Amino acid sequence: MGEIASIVPILFIAGTLEVAVFSRLQILYGTADLLMIVLIVWSLNVNTKYSLVMALLAGFMMSFYSALPMYGYFLIYLSIWVFIQILKNRIWQMPLILMVFTTIVGTIFSTVISYGILFLQDVSYDLSFVVSQIFVPSMALNLILAYPAYSFLNDYADWLYRVDSTK
Amino acid sequence: MKRIKNSWRQIVGFLLTLGFILLAFSGYLTTMLSGLMDPMIGIQTIVSERFSNIVTFFTIPREVTQLQAENQALLEEVALLRTEIIQLEQDLRETAILYSLLGFARGRPQETYIAAKVIGKDPSPFLQYVLIDKGSDDGVTFDMPVVTEKGLVGRIDAVTASAARVQLITDPASSVNAYVVEADSNGLIRGSATSDLTIDLVSQDVTLAFGQTIQTSGLGGKYPSEIMIGQVLNVNRLENELFQSASIQPAEDFSSLQAVLVVANFRPSNISPLLEKQR
């Protein structure tokens, strides 16, 4: 339960930063998804146990902030979480490379799901525009944010679970 | 005899001294006196300097401490004044924004407004929405139009008790019935993924030209009429098409929205049941 309680302030800070700061820091039309990065880092950490709760809470929070219909952020974050669980169980343990890889795949999930949901809502975008002006810049911003988030949140998770660094 | 001898010595001594003084004042002893005075002045100078150094040695530390304290106090005052200046500049900017909003509100006395600050932007890069700091507790309800002193911003899309989400007219899913003033013609304004505005469904019979003013038409009942939207930028007219279109330069800079006005007394009409019946 301590982890769940400790997740809430992280999500709150990340959500606030995302809406107030990072959504305005654009490269072309792409923006960073700080909550997605937080979710990826937290899910990849071997000590954390409630990353699914984080995915649900992050989706819940973003459903308030964003106008993406059909609870799109739940779909985005849950699909990323499932993907990470598959990777964690089946693929080798190299967290930093895995984080870069999942950040890229997470951005693809986010873009494809957003595009698909809006397409179903009769709001169509030019695919080449989405790739060149939204997806690629968003991925670049997410990768830039990933490393500091990884350092900070891993330290935080290790502190939370009192992991002995000398082991 | 002895007394007389002593008196004579005193008198001679006195007269010699007096003569020496008189000669000195007369300038006859200048060379001799300067030879005598120069080493004395040198010594005086050395002694004076050493004394000054000693005095300085004992008094300066106290002054340095005092100066350091004064300097610290002044630095703190400067920092405080700088903070005040930044705060005042910020207040001035906010006042300027609110004053212009007030000017707009005064110009439209038939409408009542709720002023709100923009506190965030939709995190999805696909959408053009902003968050404002006024919600249902302040009287904001769904579908209320949102404006600034420059023109139309959008409409309320979702409301919580203390905040609301505004769909900007630049959002790809947004459409606004518009009126081109100079051309006396109606059209439909649509947003896009690039935040550019386009007016569409304008009759081929009218002449669209650069700089023409575009306002809300009030048709459809979603927005009040005669709210500024922007100006015609580039006209796209093809003979083989039913309608012509044009790109629009919006009156408002949507990337730097800071404060907005929610039109509180406007009740949007919901005509969608009528449209469904027609189908």
- Partners of residue A68 in chain B, C-beta under 8 Å: 122, 124, 126-127
Residue A46 has which token pair?
């071997």
CB nearest B172 (choices: A30, A123, A138): A123
Q: Which of A13, A26, A68 best probes binding to B when mutated, by most B CB atoms within 10 angstroms?
A: A68
Contact A133 B194 (CB under 8 A): yes
User: B172 and chain A: CB distance < 8 Å anywhere?
Assistant: yes
Number of domains in chain A: 1
Supply the pLDDT for residue B97.
Answer: 80
To the nearest 10°, the Cα dihedral for A39, A42, A43, A44? 120
The Cα of B137 is separated from the nearest Cα of chain A by a number of Å equal to 17
Mean pLDDT of the A117-139 span: 92
Q: Provide the residue ranges of all domains of chain B, joining segments of one domain with +.
A: 2-60, 114-267
Contact B125 A123 (CB under 8 A): no
CB nearest B127 (choices: A64, A66, A130): A66
> How far is it, in rounded angstroms, from Cα A130 to Cα A138?
10
Give just the sign of the alpha carbon dihedral A109, A111, A112, A113: positive
The reply to whether A71 falls in a domain is yes
User: B117 and chain A: CB distance < 8 Å anywhere?
Assistant: no
Give just the sign of the alpha carbon dihedral A124, A127, A128, A130: positive
The reply to whether A150 falls in a domain is yes
pLDDT at position B198 over 90: yes
* ipTM of the complex, rounded to two decimals: 0.90
pLDDT at position A167 over 50: no
User: A20 and chain B: CB distance < 8 Å anywhere?
Assistant: yes
Single-letter amino acid, residue A46? V
Determine which of B33-42, B71-80, B205-214, B248-257 has the lowest per-residue pLDDT on average. Answer: B33-42
Cα separation values, A7 from A3, A15, A18, A157, Å: 6, 12, 16, 10
Pairwise pLDDT comparison (B266 vs B146), residue with the higher score: B146
Mean pLDDT of the B147-163 span: 91
User: A79 and chain B: CB distance < 8 Å anywhere?
Assistant: no
pLDDT at position A162 over 80: no
Query: Angle formed by the axes of helices A51-65 and A34-44, to 10°?
Result: 170
Q: Which residue of A has its CA nearest to B118?
A: A20
Contact A68 B126 (CB under 8 A): yes
What proportion of chain B, given as a percentage, has pLDDT over 70?
A: 92
The reply to whether A106 falls in a domain is yes
Q: Supply angle C-alpha A81, A83, A86, rounded to 5.
A: 110
Task: Report the top-level CATH class of B114-267.
Answer: mainly beta
pLDDT digits (tens, 9 = 90+) for B226-239: 899 999 999 998 88
Mean pLDDT score across all residues of chain B: 85
Contact A65 B131 (CB under 8 A): yes
The reply to whether A166 falls in a domain is no
Cα separation values, B245 from B185, B190, B204, Å: 12, 11, 9
Q: Which of B117, B121, B155 best probes binding to A when mutated, by most A CB atoms within 10 angstroms?
A: B121
DSSP string over B70-114: HHHHHHHHHHHHHHHHHHHHHHHHHHHHHHHHHHHHHH-TTS-EE
Nearest CA among B196, B209, B184, B201 for reference residue B243: B201
User: B194 and chain A: CB distance < 8 Å anywhere?
Assistant: yes
Residue A50 belongs to what domain range? 2-160
The Cα of B177 is separated from the nearest Cα of chain A by a number of Å equal to 18
User: A145 and chain B: CB distance < 8 Å anywhere?
Assistant: no
User: A129 and chain B: CB distance < 8 Å anywhere?
Assistant: yes
Read off the CATH number of the domain in which A114 is found: 1.10.1760
**Cβ under 8 Å to B: A residues 28-47:** 29-31, 33, 35
The reply to whether A165 falls in a domain is no
Residue A1 has which token pair?
């339960």
The reply to whether A93 falls in a domain is yes
Supply the pLDDT for residue B276.
Answer: 67
The Cα of A96 is separated from the nearest Cα of chain B by a number of Å equal to 25
